[in-house]
Amino acid sequence: MSWKKALIPLASVPLIILLAYGFRTDPKAIPSPLVRQPAPGFRMAVYDAGELSLETLKGKPVVLNFWASWCYPACYEEAPLLESTWRKYEAQGLMVVGVDIQDKEANAREFMRRFDFTFPNGPDPGSKISIDYGVYGVPETFFIDRQGRITHKHVGALTPALMEAQVQAILKGN
């Protein structure tokens, strides 16, 4: 085979590599520039519990979850895990905060009642907090360490293993 004939299969190698890379990546996944950065501050009206701001949670590890009652099934799948994590680690100083986005209040309350949410949750009028955190879908969860830095962002329903690993990391202050 002459070198000219070998050029044709050789030229297809970069194309195959590019396609292999393209097919292995999720085109809908947007890497967040906020990871390892200070979490944007926010102030939120909490359902039936006054107001909450990130500033007041300084020094505490925070699991910040963006959800909506219309987000089925992912938000419904992870909701019990959020509540159980809150109950398990509340005594160790962990805060779980829910931000309900683009939702109707009655539906949101029904959702919270259904999963017996006891951690603070509040609406996000104008999606200000969501946009400030670069949220593009629900559910999305941010893990914030004691220094107020985002250590991890998870898109989609949380799994018990991932939740445990990330919570342990922010509790230890890693």
- Applying CB under 8 A, does 104 fall inside the site for other proteins? no
Shortest distance, position 171 Cβ to other proteins, whole Å: 27
- Applying CB under 8 A, does 102 fall inside the site for other proteins? yes
Whether omega before 160 lies within 30 degrees of 0, making that bond cis, reads: no
- Applying CB under 8 A, does 42 fall inside the site for other proteins? no
CB environment 39-75: b (16+ within 10 A), e (fewer)? bbebebeebeeeebebeebeebbbbbbbbbbebeebb
Which of 130, 141, 151, 166 is the binder for other proteins (CB under 8 A)?
130
Shortest distance, position 92 Cβ to other proteins, whole Å: 30
- Which is nearer to other proteins, 80 or 137 (by Cβ)? 137
- Applying CB under 8 A, does 126 fall inside the site for other proteins? yes
Which of 22, 31, 50, 73 is the binder for other proteins (CB under 8 A)?
31
Which of 33, 50, 59, 73 is the binder for other proteins (CB under 8 A)?
33
Candidates 29-37, 56-64, 145-153, 166-174; binding stretch for other proteins (CB under 8 A): 29-37
- Applying CB under 8 A, does 128 fall inside the site for other proteins? yes
Shortest distance, position 31 Cβ to other proteins, whole Å: 6
The site for other proteins (CB under 8 A) is made up of 30-34, 102, 126-128, 130-134, 136-137
